[in-house]
Structures are given as structure tokens and as C-alpha cells.
Structure 1
Amino acid sequence: MTEHQASRFERGTDGPKVILAGVDGSESSMRAAAYAAGLARRQHALLALVYVQPVMTAGAALGVPVAETTDEIAQDIAADISSSAERLKDIYDVRWEFHTFRGDPYTGLVSAADELTADAVVVGASEQAGHRFVGSVAVRLVKAGRWPVTVVP
């Protein structure tokens, strides 16, 4: 085996090493995080929780403090997750990290999955009615065909 082959990242050989869950504070995303935590615990994988901060150029152009608002949302989500992890630490042992990325949800999750070398992606089902017709982030991730994607209702 050459040095290049030994250091090359390979998906799916010995079970997942990193399970990524997209979180945005919605009920379905928090259920997805809980489901992903169970998968990570059983597989002894790292749980990477990712919040994608939207970039709202229109709001920023009008002087609305968009970055501060999305930073607060990220901090609230991280605090909720930390609180839950602290309550369950004696029952479940899950290694986890919280990451934020900027952009639209699909592009942010793709970037996160690539950067964190995710083996699987877990997201909550969209709670927006229009996504049934236009397509949701979950559907776009599945169509990308780059990772196993689990959509939690």
C-alpha cells in the first residue's frame, strides 16, 4: 500500500466515524439531533451538530443586525444541546462537537459534511408547507448522493 492510499479518507469501511446532524432550533431538527446522538453512541462515532447561519444580505443592507441575531440563535442552540448533554452524561456517553457555518442551509451542510468528513447526515423534515412542492434541504441532500441521509420527522 502506498503512502497516498494509507492516508486517503475512505467512507463506510468500519462503520461511521462522524455523524453530522443539522440543527436550527426547530422541533424536527432537535429530534434529528437526538436520533443522530443515538446512532453516534451505538457506533462510537463523533456527533457533529451543525447550525448554518443564514446570510441575509437584504436585512444587512437595511441596517438590521443580522449577524448578531444569528449568533444569538447559534449560542441558544449550543446552550440547549450542552444542557441536554449534561443531563444525560451519566446515562449516555456521546462524543459531540457543535459547529456553525454560514450560508444557505443546503450549501452550509454540504460544506460541513465535506470539512468534517461526515460518514452520514441526519436532518429533520422540513416544517414548511412550500417545501413539498419546491424541495427541501433533506431532498437536495439525498439527491446529492454523497452520504447516507436520514430524515427524521
Structure 2
Amino acid sequence: MTEQHAHQFERGTDGPKVIVVGVDGSESSLRAAAYAAGLARRQRALLALVYVQPVVTAGVALGAPVAETTDEIAEELIAYLREATERVKGIFDLRWEFHTFRGDPYGGLVKAADELKADAVVVGASEQAGHRIVGSVAVRLVKAGRWPVTVVP
């Protein structure tokens, strides 16, 4: 047996250990979460679902209850994820955690990926027309070049 054949590929051991996916309740982010969940299940990786709560600035000045709204979104996302997990319990084995970070979506996901030691990041494609000009969170993450980034349409 030659030396190059001494080491055989072991299926399921060389993939990512932590997959971060950005969720905000949009259809695109939920599709990204579903894709990332399938990837995490197949790779036996931890799925870290991350909701980035926007920094409250102008809303506070106007007296708007922005923080309460973003907390409600986070709570709704957790409830939705728990329900979805219950539906597939016993069918799919999936380890997942839910995290919230504060800031802009790009900065929050970067911080999350760094702190959680992500091996991969999954995000939904932007549904906002202005991002075609300025650049979406997904494009900025790809340009950062720090993790493999999957953009789910």
C-alpha cells in the first residue's frame, strides 16, 4: 500500500463544526435557516441561529418602542424554531442554539461568527432593491473572506 492510500477520506468528519445562520423572520432568512439546518444535520455540526437586533438610535429620539419590538421579534423567532424542531424530533437529529447580538446586520453577524468560532456562515439573499447598489450583508460577508459564505435565494 502506498503512502497516499494510507489515509482514506472519512465521510462526515472533515466538514464544519459550527454553522452560523442569520435570521430575522424574513422569508429569505427562513429559507437560509432551513438550508443551514440540513447542512448542519448532515455534517453533525452545531447550528447557531443568530438574530441581530438593530441599534436603537432615531427610534428612541422619536419615542418609538423599538427595543420592545426587536425583543418581540427575537421571542417569535425562538418560538418558531422550537416548534419546527418539535415537528422533526425523532426524524432528524439536530443540535442548535439561538443567539441575539446587537448592531447592524453585517457587524452583528461578523461578531457572532467570531465569538462562536464559525466554520461557515449562511445568509438569505437580500430582498431590498437598494442593496443591489450599496451591497448586501451577504456581499459584504463574502468580501470579508473570513469564512465560507453561502447565500440562499
What's the counterpart of residue 65 of structure 1?
Answer: 65
Tell me which residue corresponds to 1:92. Answer: 92
State the match for 1:143 in structure 2.
143
2: CA distance, partners of 1:125 / 1:79 = 23
Q: Distance in 2 between matches of 1:91 and 1:127?
A: 32
Q: Deviations over 1:103-143 (max 9, x none)?
A: 00000000000000000000000000111111000000000
1: CA distance, partners of 2:139 / 2:56: 23
- What is the TM-score with the length of structure 1 in the denominator? 0.90
Question: How many angstroms apart in 2 are the aligned matches of 1:147 and 1:131?
Answer: 21
Aligned-pair CA distance for 1:89:
1.2
Which structure 1 residue ranges, 4+ long, deviate > 4 Å from structure 2? none
- Look up the SS of the partner of 1:114 in the other structure: helix
Please state how far the C-alpha of 1:74 moved relative to its aligned partner.
0.5
The letter of the residue matching 1:151 is: V
Structure-2-length-normalised TM-score: 0.90
What's the CA shift for 1:44?
0.4
Q: Separation in 2 of the partners of 1:104 and 1:41?
A: 29
- 2:114 aligned with 1:114: yes
Give secondary structure in 1 for the equivalent of 2:93.
coil
Q: Find the counterpart in structure 2 of residue 128 from structure 1.
A: 128
Amino acid at match of 2:75: Q
Q: Tell me what 2:152 maps to.
A: 152
Count of residues in correspondence between the two structures: 141
Distance 2:121 2:89 in 1: 23
Gapped regions of structure 1 (runs ≥ 5): 1-12
